[in-house]
Structure 1
Amino acid sequence: MTDQPIRVGILGFGFMGRTHAAAYNRAAGDGSEVSVRMIADPGISSPRSDSPAGNLEVDDAIDLSSIDCVTDPRAVLDSDEIDLVSICTPTDSHVDLAICALESGKHVLVEKPIAIHEGDVRRLADAASRSDRVCMPAMCMRYWPAWVRIKQAIDSREFGAPRSISFARLGSAPAWSSDFYRDESRSGGMLTDLHIHDTDYLVHCFGVPKSVTTIGDTMHISTQYRFDNGPIHAVAEAAWDNPPSAGFTMRCVVVFEHASLDFSIARDPQLLLHRGDQSTPIGLTDHTGYDAEARAMLDHISTGTGTHGILLQDAVSVARVLDAERQSLSTSSTIKISDCSAF
């Protein structure tokens, strides 16, 4: 790590802003040289009683007493005391804030989705390519312990080639910032905000699919992905139409030639290996994907190397696949990614 702590400014202090702050604090507690120095949020001076929550709980309390809390993000971007900016604001502000941060000489960790459409994500990727700063999309599922283990099994072929991969990510519509999430022109809706996790993971594992077929409506979809070199069956279901009392479902099942891996967030143990007549729990680290994501970002900054450039180019590809899914949903047809109209 560097001799001096990496000084962090966080833009937006809802659920994701608090999650980033907690991840940096845990990294510092584990020996990383990092310190949250500034937070910018319009409501930072008047904490809300209805603190926003997310699907994946983060229960760390954040001590603001030693942090410079401001309402204007420009104060963070202009500060010479900040090295890294975490952008956790509403989706439609991500790209412009990230570009401003890069132009101010800051490293950038930008929450998903970077933007709704491919063209806007590409605009950030182009700006990042002209900068010597690290700019990384915060796709936490790539770092989630079970997902990391599944990717290892896919890459190593230790259970043979993957034949099928299925996802379910089901919940209720966000009760916080409901006006924002209901406005799909700003948030991208469920497809862009929730379903993006599984589309991104598929691109991470198998590359860009050749086509997608999406059925349902804007509150509940299922997408079938076809790959040139991937599983014969790849499906991801996502929903915001479940009642709140039903809780949140996050499941992934991968069937290989000689075994299967089965993840469910509602079960302990969460990850099981099924092989023959035996089912075996798979041990996982106790950190979250948010923790590993933050540490990866810090490592990229400290070493000057890493996969952040690849991740940003992947984000462009994922946005294009999501645009194709959106077209498939609206036209009730299969869309080839190569034919997808750019936005």
Structure 2
Amino acid sequence: MAPQIREAAGQARHEPIGVGVIGLGFMGRTHVQAYAKADAAGWANRLVAVCDSDPERRAGRAGGAGNLEGEAPEQVFDPEGVLASEEADDLLSVDEVDLVSICTHTDSHVDLALRALAAGKHVLVEKPVALLADDIARLAAAAGEAGTLCMPAHCMRFWPAWEWLRERVNDGSLGVVRGATFRRLGSRPAWAAGFYDDPARSGGALVDLHIHDADFVRWCFGDPCAVSSAGTVDHLSTLYRFDGGPAHVTAEGGWDNAPGWGFRMQATVVFEQATADFDIGRTPQLELLRRDGVEPIELPDTDGYDGEVRHLLECIATGEGELRVDLEDARALALLLEAERQSLESGATVPL
């Protein structure tokens, strides 16, 4: 349900939150659409400004493609009344922009987020926030001094099926978790090839794709005590070891499949009393299997992008609530991924 605007410590807002989006490729387009859907559902906001180097994108026409199926609309937004600029500072100087989504390449995230915070904006910064934990720590320090919010866009924490899985892990209603397996596979993105083909910039599938499941593992089970990874930065499998946690937690991620292979996003969590199984390519996507049969789990008709923007909009609008994911989570996740990289390179189990 949409948030109820409350008069809390004089911080509640009654006018729509002004949004700016920097970068209008696939992910920027996704953010624009998520904000529009949020507004229609009661999370009041309006697109005020956009920034991109491509004039077609600045005019609101679709650009970029992604892993998930579904065609982009020809017109992503109505350019009438939306300030479109090539330079981020032009967008950041607009007083009506309260919240900025940063949807550019990874190596520009921290700098743009720092500039947005300095301009007094709230920030939603796409994952990975940065390749190095130290860079994320630098941004976290600035966010701690700012009077605004800065949230990493870890969308799986807001994906309805993943929320359901985490709730079952936490509430114990299906017994303790015996094991969990995650699988996220596709082809290397064909757009922005110069970026995605360079692991020094993108981090490879390890940091750009597998990051989703590594983050969800942390969210459900906490930080592992050690990791053991095999493969390459473009296709790997990791075994996560926990002191007192599930005995078997693995995640496979890769984008080395041939173009046209498609996209797989799957998860299986084995509880004492049942097995929960998710497959994005199946209807229903989430099933609960018990001894006496299979139960389809009904899920909201939203995705993690919808959930993350609505969560941040609500936190801004009410002046209340704790971010579900923060920059300390992003920093700890970067350290976890670095341990996985070390394990890939050494062939050894790496303690954390």
CA distance in 2, matches of 1:174, 1:317: 26
Identity %: 47
| C-alpha distance in structure 2 between counterparts of 1:164 and 1:130, whole Å | 40
Q: Secondary structure at the match of 1:81?
A: coil
**Cα distance, 1:45 vs. partner?**
4.3
Q: Which residue of 1 aligns with 2:10?
A: none
Report the counterpart of residue 170 of structure 1 in structure 2: 185
Aligned residues: 337
Structure 2: distance between partners of 1:309 and 1:204:
10
- Give the drift of 1:175: 0.3
- Give the distance between the partners of 1:326 and 1:35, measured in 2 at CA: 41
The corresponding residue for 1:64 is 78
SS at match of 2:55: coil
Are the equivalent residues in 1 in contact too, given 2:19–2:100 (CA < 8 A)?
yes
**Alignment RMSD:** 1.6
* Partner of residue 341, structure 2: 326
CA distance in structure 1 between the aligned counterparts of 2:245 and 2:67, rounded to whole angstroms: 29
Q: Cα distance, 1:44 vs. partner?
A: 3.2
Pick the aligned partner of 2:20 from 6, 9, 29: 9
- Residue 290 (structure 1) aligns with: 305
Pair 1:265-2:288 in alignment: no
Asked whether 1:128 is paired with 2:140, we answer no
CA distance in 2, matches of 1:239, 1:310: 24
Distance 1:209 1:225 in 2: 6
Out of 17-26 and 43-52, give the one that drifted further: 43-52
Q: In the TM superposition, what whole-angstrom CA distance separates every residue of 1:132-178 from its partner, at most 9, and x where no partner exists? A: 10110001111001001001100011110001000010000000001
Q: Which amino acid aligns with 1:13?
A: L
8 A contact 2:174–2:272 mirrored in 1: yes
Q: Output the CA distance in 1 between the equivalents of 2:249 and 2:239.
A: 6
- Counterpart of 1:34 (choices 45, 59, 64) is 45
Matches within 5 A, 1:105-116: 105-116=120-131
TM-score by length of structure 1 reads 0.95
Tell me the CA shift for residue 207 of structure 1. Answer: 1.1
Q: Quick check: 1:222–1:236 contact (8 Å CA) kept in 2?
A: yes
User: What TM-score do you get using the length of structure 2 for normalisation?
Assistant: 0.92
- Would you say 1:102 and 2:113 are equivalent positions? no
Match of 1:247 in 2: 262
What are the residue-to-residue correspondences of 1:135-154 with 2, within 5 Å? 135-154=150-169
Q: Secondary structure at 1:221's aligned position in 2? A: strand
**Among candidates 31, 43, 52, match of residue 64 of structure 2:** 52
> 8 Å contact 1:160–1:258 — kept in the other structure?
yes
* 2-structure distance, mates of 1:167, 1:266: 14
Distance 1:231 1:269 in 2: 27
Partner of 1:278: 293
CA distance in 2, matches of 1:176, 1:336: 36
Q: For residues 299 and 229 of structure 1, do their structure 2 counterparts lie closer, same or farther at Cα, with a shift above 3 Å needed? A: farther
Cα deviation for residue 32 of structure 1 reads: 1.9
Equivalent position of 1:183 in the other structure = 198
1:207 aligns with 2:219: no
Counterpart for residue 24 of structure 1: 35
Deviates more, 1:56-65 or 1:12-21: 56-65
Specify the alignment match of 1:340 in structure 2.
none
Task: Tell me the secondary structure at the aligned position of residue 64 of structure 2.
Answer: coil
Q: Distance between the aligned counterparts of 2:324 and 2:239, measured in 1? A: 28
- Aligned 8 A contact 1:271 1:281 in 2: yes
Residues 297-306 or 191-200, more deviating: 297-306
**Larger CA deviation: 158-167 vs 227-236:** 227-236
Question: Secondary structure of the equivalent of 2:53?
Answer: coil
The superposition leaves residues 176-195 of structure 1 with CA deviations (integer Å, 9 ceiling, x where unpaired) of 00110111111111100000
Contact 2:342/2:350 (<8 A) preserved? yes
What stretches of structure 2 of length at least 5 have no aligned partner? 6-12
Query: SS at the partner of 2:283?
Result: coil
Aligned-pair distance for 1:112? 0.4
CA contact (8 A) 1:135 1:308 kept: no
One-letter code aligned to 1:24: Y
* 1:48 Cα offset (Å): 11
What is the CA-CA distance between 1:309 and the residue it aligns to?
Answer: 7.6
Q: Secondary structure at the match of 2:213?
A: helix
Moved more, 255-264 or 59-68: 59-68
Shift of 1:218: 2.1
Q: 1:82 to 1:202 in 2, by over 3 A?
A: same
Q: Residues 23 and 274 (structure 1 numbering): CA distance in 2 closer, same or farther, change over 3 Å?
A: same
Moved more, 71-80 or 196-205: 71-80
- Alignment of 1:82 onto 2:97: yes
Contact 2:183–2:267 (8 Å) recurs in 1: yes
Distance 2:42 2:212 in 1: 29
**Aligned counterparts of 1:296 and 1:265: Cα–Cα separation in 2:** 23
> How far did 1:82 drift?
0.8
Aligned-partner Cα distance in 1 for 2:325–2:233: 30
Matches of 2:41 and 2:131, distance apart in 1: 35
Change (3 A) 1:75 1:229: farther
